[in-house]
């Protein structure tokens, strides 16, 4: 296991303390940890387990159970293609294929420049807009394969602005 | 107790309120099949995740079938346990479980002892109508336990033992749906986890997903090597359980027949770990008295309580989870390792052979012993003090492999000089036994008086946590006993917080002690078997002429001719050890 930086360590210890080191708050702790760090590597899980006084296996079980949690770093922008029934029927598989082709990654993969992670999810509750693609908090509705390039370019620009 | 009236299979019964349908049915003689469910009465623990759905029954007025293991009886409930709908559902569930199970029954280590196989047969499954994706996960090995996740049916019994009973926290379910698997944290192997190798997961696994690493081939090879002298030691708990593998009632003592079988297998000398248990008492008892004297004299550097150290899973447990307290347990090695160290020095010298030509085999009720024997501190120049450890189950298979009918053998005696033991030594196999043996010797050495009565009833029994005060001629010696690592944890936490008032504590990792070890014949949930094994050991103790370790004539002569005195320099070198901080 590699070691965490002093500041990450302090952040996690504080975070657990904020939740009174209560094991029942595990999911909240993991949520905030992932928000801050981008992902939940083994070292983070081990430290959280120690702080909440629960076995590593329990933390690892929760992290692997919920698809929201990830153990590998994600890109700046998480492109989520809805595969719920409505979006699926309205042809979101074609949209997914187009993202795969243009970004040259598989589902769950991250582009080498670290900008995009491509993932799928089940229903964001916007079925009237099907097919939908969500990036962060933004939801794109009635997406067509032709719009994919435009969406990607828009976020590449955003990434550059962030730099 | 309140009662409710229920109808099961068209017959009315009065049963206690609060029972599950499964328990109620079994009480009135209706044995609903179950698979993931397991109830360990004596340690008051249940596994009922309601996951496998084999125990479903039909309840009048309910739309869906209900799992009987986690549905409570209600007044007026009408239950059908074998309607057409129930039988069809059960068979479908079983077929689906089997559709993702490797059909390796003929070569599986669990063949003949597999609960999945038994239930499938009971349900009359002769054909699988479903074919689908199969799990293909890598197997995991370790020095003691073999994991085959492809044979796992996700009953979660191992997880219950590991987390609730033992509080080790090694095994847990990860991922979800079809990809679910029970594994140590982060997908590591057991050796890179907090596993203590206690083997309680193996003891409850219904299938071949968790088994011991079988090393009997190594023994056969050694026995057929003309350049080797092969000796064997047998742990106390083995003689109280081996007979079960040959159709004997639980609690049948087969000491003499076991010795005869080992001799017929070709071992040159058949020795007894009980001898080394007597030796352990000399060392551990002396250490206890020294620490006690120092403590009473006001020496603040002396730590009490002293904790026993015979159990290798317990050693692993505190090295992993309480490394800051590793100066509290006795430094005495376990009897297995004391035996190995004496065999490869004293006994090899007697035979005038080199240690590399002496092969020491242990028969143990335990899987952690396999890990213990491989620890680097118990080797000299790469040659281990103990070469191979076989579990009770492996020995039974080896006896069968070599065409020996245990039940027809005469009773034979152990060889000398490492086969003589006292009643105290044999008690090491049960919870409370090590401390009873220690008290017999420590009392007489401390007081200089003979004990009026050897049986300490207050130290005996099956309660997970016990305590007793023994009058050491005016000094009240306070003794604690814990078996099961969850109980051990409670003891340790009390010591850490200063609440503990004990002078000495005996700890054994497995429920019941070694008689309930992970290498013993499978109990399949019938933990009442452990009590019978315990009684067998008490019986063996009672039948011995010598029942106090310090009166074992071969122990006396071992000190006189070789070791000098308990805790001498040589005794320290061969019979004591040190512990490591393994917190990770």
How many whole angstroms separate alpha carbon B296 and alpha carbon B289?
10
Cβ <8 Å between A55 and B186: no
* Residues A87 and A151 grouped into a single domain: yes
Cβ <8 Å between A57 and B172: yes
Instruction: Report pLDDT digits (tens) over A32-68.
Output: 999 899 899 999 999 999 999 999 999 999 999 988 8
Average pLDDT over residues A109-122: 90
Cβ <8 Å between B584 and A1: yes
Average pLDDT over residues A109-134: 91
Assigned domain for A21 exists: yes
* Residues A92 and A125 grouped into a single domain: yes
Cβ <8 Å between B186 and A56: yes
pLDDT of residue A136: 84
B163 interfacial to chain A (CB closer than 8 Å) = yes
| B339 class by beta-carbon count within 10 Å (0-12 exposed, 13-18 middle, 19+ buried) | buried
Residue A121 pLDDT exceeds 70:
yes
Ramachandran angles phi, psi of B187, nearest 5°: 70, 15
State pTM to two decimals: 0.91
Q: Where are the domain boundaries for CATH 3.10.20.740 in chain B?
A: 3-122
Range of the domain at A56: 6-65
Minimal C-alpha gap between B184 and chain A (Å): 6
State chain A's mean pLDDT as an integer.
93
Q: Where are the domain boundaries for CATH 3.30.70.20 in chain B?
A: 145-212
* Residues A95 and A61 grouped into a single domain: no
Please compute, for residue B275, the number of CA atoms within 13 A of its CA located in the half-sphere on the CB side: 25
Nearest CA to A119 out of A101, A105, A131, A104 is that of A105
* Residues A55 and A91 grouped into a single domain: no
Minimal C-alpha gap between B501 and chain A (Å): 26
B176 → closest Cβ in A45, A59, A65: A65
Cβ <8 Å between A55 and B175: no
* Residues A48 and A110 grouped into a single domain: no
A72 interfacial to chain B (CB closer than 8 Å) = no
Residue partners of B382: CB distance under 8 A and separation at least 6: none
pLDDT of residue B481: 97
Low-confidence ranges of chain B (pLDDT < 70): 1
Inter-axis angle of helices A148-162 and A92-103, nearest 10: 50
In chain B, what residues touch A54 (CB-CB under 8 Å)?
Answer: 169
Q: Domain end: A32, A65, A98, which one?
A: A65
pLDDT of residue A1: 57
B177 interfacial to chain A (CB closer than 8 Å) = no
pLDDT of residue A2: 66
CA triple B435-B441-B443, angle to 5 deg: 90
How many whole angstroms separate alpha carbon B334 and alpha carbon B410?
31
Asked: is B286-332+422-518+534-575 a CATH 3.10.20.30 domain? The reply is no
Please compute, for residue A15, the number of CA atoms within 13 A of its CA located in the half-sphere on the CB side: 25
* Residues A42 and A10 grouped into a single domain: yes
pLDDT of residue B550: 96
CA dihedral B413, B414, B419, B423 (to 10 degrees): -40
In chain A, what residues touch B176 (CB-CB under 8 Å)?
Answer: 64-65
Tell me, what's the ipTM?
0.88
> Which of A61, A62, A70 to mutate: most B Cβ within 10 Å?
A61
Assigned domain for A48 exists: yes
Assigned domain for A71 exists: no
CATH of domain B145-212: 3.30.70.20
How many whole angstroms separate alpha carbon B235 and alpha carbon B363?
6
B residues 365..384 contacting A (CB < 8 A): none
Minimal C-alpha gap between B175 and chain A (Å): 5
A87-to-A92, B69, B159, B287, B565 alpha-carbon distances in Å: 6, 41, 39, 74, 82
B172 interfacial to chain A (CB closer than 8 Å) = yes
Q: How many domains does chain A have?
A: 2
* Residues A51 and A13 grouped into a single domain: yes
A89-to-A123, A127, A131, B539 alpha-carbon distances in Å: 12, 11, 8, 74
pLDDT of residue A74: 85
* Residues A112 and A141 grouped into a single domain: yes
Catalytic site positions of B = 284, 287, 310, 330, 369, 372, 377, 514
* Residues A156 and A124 grouped into a single domain: yes
How many whole angstroms separate alpha carbon B501 and alpha carbon B94?
52
Cβ <8 Å between B170 and A57: yes
A43 interfacial to chain B (CB closer than 8 Å) = no
* Residues A89 and A157 grouped into a single domain: yes
pLDDT of residue A3: 82
How many whole angstroms separate alpha carbon B575 and alpha carbon A10?
45
A32-to-A27, A47, A116, B156, B485 alpha-carbon distances in Å: 9, 14, 21, 30, 34
Architecture of the B3-122 domain: Roll (3.10)
Minimal C-alpha gap between A21 and chain B (Å): 18
In chain B, what residues touch A65 (CB-CB under 8 Å)?
Answer: 174-176
Specify the CATH number for the domain of residue A111: 3.40.30.10
Q: List the end-to-end C-alpha distance of chain A, in Å, as a whole number.
A: 31
């Amino acid at each position: 296991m590699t070691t965490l930086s002093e500041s990450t360590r302090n952040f996690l210890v504080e975070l657990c303390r904020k939740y009174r080191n209560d094991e029942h708050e595990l999911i909240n702790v993991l949520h905030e940890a992932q928000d801050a760090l981008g992902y939940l590597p083994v070292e983070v899980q081990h430290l959280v387990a120690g702080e909440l006084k629960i076995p590593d296996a329990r933390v690892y079980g929760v992290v692997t159970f919920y698809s929201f949690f990830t153990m590998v770093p994600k890109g700046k922008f998480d492109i989520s293609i809805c595969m719920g029934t409505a979006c699926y029927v309205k042809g979101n598989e074609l949209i997914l294929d187009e993202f795969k082709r243009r970004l040259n990654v598989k589902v769950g993969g991250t582009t080498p420049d670290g900008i995009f992670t491509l993932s799928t999810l089940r229903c964001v509750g916007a079925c009237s807009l099907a097919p939908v693609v969500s990036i962060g908090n933004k939801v794109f509705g009635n997406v067509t394969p032709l719009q994919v390039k435009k969406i990607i370019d828009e976020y590449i620009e955003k990434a550059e602005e962030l730099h | 107790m309140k009662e409710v009236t229920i109808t099961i299979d068209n017959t009315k019964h009065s049963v206690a309120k609060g029972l599950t349908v499964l328990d109620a049915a079994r009480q009135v003689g209706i044995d609903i099949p179950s698979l993931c469910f397991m109830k360990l009465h004596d340690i008051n623990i249940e596994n009922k995740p309601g996951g496998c759905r084999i125990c479903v029954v039909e309840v009048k007025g309910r739309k869906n079938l209900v799992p009987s293991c986690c549905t409570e009886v209600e007044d007026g409930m009408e239950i059908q346990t074998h309607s057409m709908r129930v039988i069809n559902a059960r068979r479908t569930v079983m077929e689906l479980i089997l559709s993702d199970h490797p059909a390796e029954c003929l070569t599986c280590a669990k063949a003949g002892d597999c609960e999945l196989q038994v239930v499938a047969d009971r349900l009359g499954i002769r054909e699988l109508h479903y074919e689908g994706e199969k799990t293909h996960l890598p197997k995991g090995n370790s020095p003691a336990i073999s994991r085959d996740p492809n044979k796992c049916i996700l009953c979660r019994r191992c997880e219950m033992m590991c987390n609730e009973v033992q509080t080790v926290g090694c095994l847990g379910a990860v991922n979800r749906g079809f990809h679910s698997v029970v594994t140590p944290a982060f997908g590591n192997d057991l050796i890179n986890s907090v596993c203590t190798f206690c083997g309680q997961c193996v003891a409850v696994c219904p299938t071949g997903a968790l088994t011991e690493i079988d090393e009997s081939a190594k023994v056969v090879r050694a026995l057929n090597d003309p350049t080797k002298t092969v000796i064997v030691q047998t742990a106390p708990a083995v003689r109280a359980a081996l007979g079960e593998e040959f159709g004997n009632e639980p609690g049948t003592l087969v000491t003499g027949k076991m010795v005869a079988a080992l001799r017929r297998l070709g071992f040159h000398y058949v020795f007894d770990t009980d001898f080394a248990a007597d030796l352990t008492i000399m060392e551990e008892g002396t250490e206890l008295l020294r620490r006690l004297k120092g403590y009473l004299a006001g020496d603040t550097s002396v730590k009490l309580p002293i904790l026993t150290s015979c159990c290798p899973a317990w050693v692993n447990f505190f090295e992993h989870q309480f490394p800051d307290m590793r100066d509290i347990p006795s430094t005495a090695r376990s009897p297995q390792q004391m035996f190995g160290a004496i065999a490869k020095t004293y006994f090899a010298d007697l035979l005038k052979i080199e240690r590399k030509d002496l092969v020491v085999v242990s028969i143990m009720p335990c899987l952690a012993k396999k890990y213990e024997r491989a620890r680097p501190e118990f080797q000299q120049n790469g040659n281990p003090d103990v070469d191979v450890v076989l579990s009770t189950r492996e020995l039974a298979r080896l006896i069968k492999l070599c065409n020996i009918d245990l039940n027809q053998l005469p009773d034979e005696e152990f060889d000398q000089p490492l086969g003589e033991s006292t009643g105290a030594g044999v008690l090491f196999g049960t919870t409370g036994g090590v401390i009873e043996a220690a008290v017999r010797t420590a009392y007489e050495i401390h007081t200089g008086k003979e004990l009026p009565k050897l049986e300490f009833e207050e130290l005996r029994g099956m309660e997970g946590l016990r305590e007793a005060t023994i009058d050491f001629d005016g000094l009240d010696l306070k003794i604690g006993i814990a078996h099961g690592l969850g109980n051990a944890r409670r003891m340790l936490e009390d010591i850490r917080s200063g609440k503990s008032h004990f002078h000495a504590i005996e700890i054994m990792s497995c429920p019941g002690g070694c008689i309930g070890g992970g290498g013993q014949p499978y109990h399949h949930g019938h933990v009442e078997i452990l009590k019978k094994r315990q009684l067998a050991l008490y019986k063996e103790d009672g039948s011995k002429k010598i029942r106090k370790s310090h009166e074992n004539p071969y122990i006396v002569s071992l000190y006189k001719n070789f070791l000098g005195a308990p805790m001498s320099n040589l005794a320290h070198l061969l019979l004591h050890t040190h512990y490591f901080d393994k917190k990770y």
